[in-house]
Structure 1
Amino acid sequence: MTEIAHRFVESTGGLRMHVAEAGSGPLVLLLHGFPECWYSWRHQLVALAEAGYHAVAPDQRGYARTGGPREADRYTIHHLVGDVAGLIDALGEERAVVVGHDWGAPVAWATAQFLPERVRGVAGLSVPHRPRSSRPPVQAMREMFGEGFYMVHFQRPGEPEADLDRDRTATFRRILYAASGDGGGLLPAVPEGGGFVESCPEPARLPGWLTEDDIATYAREYGDAGFAGPVNWYRNLDRNWELTAAWHRAPITPPALYIGGDRDPVVAGPARRAVDRLADFVPNLRGTVWLSGCGHWTQQERPAEVNEALIGFIRDL
């Protein structure tokens, strides 16, 4: 059985990053989303290693064993892409296949857009590339979804991370279930005066892909870092919009793959159009894979299908 090893890498961007890794060969970086860490790629690390690749899943800036700065303005998309480039350097490589899920997907897409010479191929899970909007996103989401939309709610200082840190076991159990295909693929509204965690349903029983040990691992991995860093990613949505003006509608040119679940709230309803139009802005899109009955947590809910799609895509590069 292939083992997953752990170490800390001094990124050339100045961040001491915890990485989980397996195998040897061409480099494949696996970028997690919210509220996750390296552990969300536990199934892919082994499969990619056994297929002949060096699979590396970092805890990204602010998360879990990596941790990060307190200042919110040090979590911009430029910092996050810089961390990826610095990690590729620190691992002794010139290029990598970059795979991202949830928040990791925009980082992967942006890395391929800003630094195409460093990216052999890019894969986005759940979140498709979206071209830069015509106006700052937070106000647009506030007008469309209201103050209770979780991305708007996360702009409040101090309150969201206190809610998420209060009972981490409940946080992971409720959020992972709510947005899954088993939980109905929900992005619930935060009630006035309430918190995001309580707005997510308590499962009567866990789905087959998620165990109590998995939940305990997530809660343990967050350790001293907690949720302040992860929430700070959301507090840079408008700042990222300002910083990316130079790449307005710039194409993403490396070979690309998209994988999504047909019960994922991120691409439900009108949001599905972003996937349908993906090739307009990602001209070297090699394929779109839809996972039936799958919610938001693609690589955890459907590991075998995700592994097959990723390995096939990488082998064809």
Structure 2
Amino acid sequence: MHVAEAGTGPLVLLLHGFPELWYSWRHQLPVLAAAGYHAVAPDLRGHGRTQAPVDVEDYGMAAHVADAVGVLDALGESTAVLVGHDWGASTAWAAAELHPERFTAVAAPSVPDRPRSPRPPLTELRSFAGDRFNWMLYFQEPGVAEADLSADVARTMRLMMYGLSGDAGDTGVRMVTGLPRDAVLLDQMPEPEAPAAWLTETDLAYYVDEYERTGFTGGLNRYRNADLDWELLPELGTGVIAQPALFVGGDLDTAVRFADPNRMRNHIPNLTGPIVLPGAGHWIQQERSDEVNHALLTFLRTVD
């Protein structure tokens, strides 16, 4: 496992999402270090410079939670504060629920925690989607999304980063609710008129170089375990997360719009927030790094 780290002090473990890398935390690492924390951001399994298992089943939630625990063990730490974005947020919530003795607090930009669904997640999604396009369902068939996303990695990263950001306005909502089932995902995303202030050409090039080398299968295999996770971890999403918790989201993020984060209070009694930033999209710790850093540091001080 490849990790980027900065600083010394109490451990803060940062888990990225898809299609991201440790690099999505580039604005948080130095700030956390300067505040007296040991900030560690790994490339998750199958991403960047971390080993990529071959089997789809090796990308399930149990494996990702075990990786998070394994980082603590490798660093000789008994506990950490866990911060996750996108799929990393889902892993952070799961790890906090399954291993409260190791993760003393949890923060999740963008993706709220959700209770266990009554039916397997893909069944729920097919019912929700009907005759509309759905990302999760599109990602299920091995090889299909890989071919689309890998055809032009620079275009893929440019469109996905822009299309789900606050810069694109309601584009993300249209892609979730307004596309026909047979839509070609990238063809529905608008081209940015200019480089984003939060994502320079150098930033974009880092992502492009890494995904051109590795492909997208590692990240896509995470989606392909949704139903298996539901079967193998029946306790997940059924208990209370008692640790201090923080949620920060953007009001233009579809993950916030379609899952009211206020409902988390029912099973996360020590929740700070939800903090919802106007005009922010899905890549919130990159788009609005100053505000996210302020929220994280304020939260960490209360945990200390």
* Residue 300 (structure 1) aligns with: 286
Contact 1:70 1:228 in 2 (8 A): no
Tell me the CA shift for residue 287 of structure 1: 2.8
Tell me the CA shift for residue 272 of structure 1: 3.9
Contact 2:134 2:181 in 1 (8 A): no
Give the one of 37, 57, 69 matched to 2:41: 57
Matched, 1:180 2:165: yes
Distance 1:141 1:272 in 2: 14
Tell me the CA shift for residue 164 of structure 1: 1.1
Contact 2:251 2:277 in 1 (8 A): yes
Distance 2:208 2:254 in 1: 24
Matched pairs, number: 298
Contact 2:79 2:103 in 1 (8 A): yes
1:66-86 superposed Cα distances (whole Å, 9 cap, x missing partner): 141121111110000000000
Matched, 1:26 2:7: no
Distance 1:142 1:69 in 2: 28
Q: 1:60 corresponds to which letter in structure 2?
A: L
Within 5 Å, give how 1:32-43 maps onto structure 2: 32-43=16-27
Matched, 1:217 2:202: no
* Residue 287 (structure 1) aligns with: 273
* Residue 106 (structure 2) aligns with: 122
Contact 1:64 1:226 in 2 (8 A): no
* Residue 78 (structure 2) aligns with: 94
Tell me the CA shift for residue 241 of structure 1: 1.1
Matched, 1:158 2:143: yes
Tell me the CA shift for residue 205 of structure 1: 1.8
Give the one of 48, 52, 63 matched to 1:68: 52
Tell me the CA shift for residue 191 of structure 1: 5.5
1:75-127 superposed Cα distances (whole Å, 9 cap, x missing partner): 11000000000011101100000000111000000000000000121001100
Tell me the CA shift for residue 199 of structure 1: 2.4
TM-score (norm 2): 0.94
Contact 1:22 1:55 in 2 (8 A): yes
Tell me the CA shift for residue 167 of structure 1: 1.1
Tell me the CA shift for residue 243 of structure 1: 1.7
Contact 2:12 2:81 in 1 (8 A): yes
* Residue 12 (structure 1) aligns with: none
Task: Structure 1: give runs of 5+ residues left out of the alignment.
Answer: 1-16
Distance 1:263 1:209 in 2: 16
RMSD of the TM alignment (CA)?
1.5
Contact 1:160 1:195 in 2 (8 A): no
Distance 2:252 2:182 in 1: 29
Contact 2:25 2:41 in 1 (8 A): yes
Distance 1:193 1:306 in 2: 37
Moved over 4 A (4+): 189-194
Distance 1:65 1:195 in 2: 29
Distance 2:185 2:290 in 1: 31
* Residue 110 (structure 1) aligns with: 94
Tell me the CA shift for residue 223 of structure 1: 4.8
Q: 1:172 to 1:248 in 2, by over 3 A?
A: closer
Contact 1:30 1:99 in 2 (8 A): yes
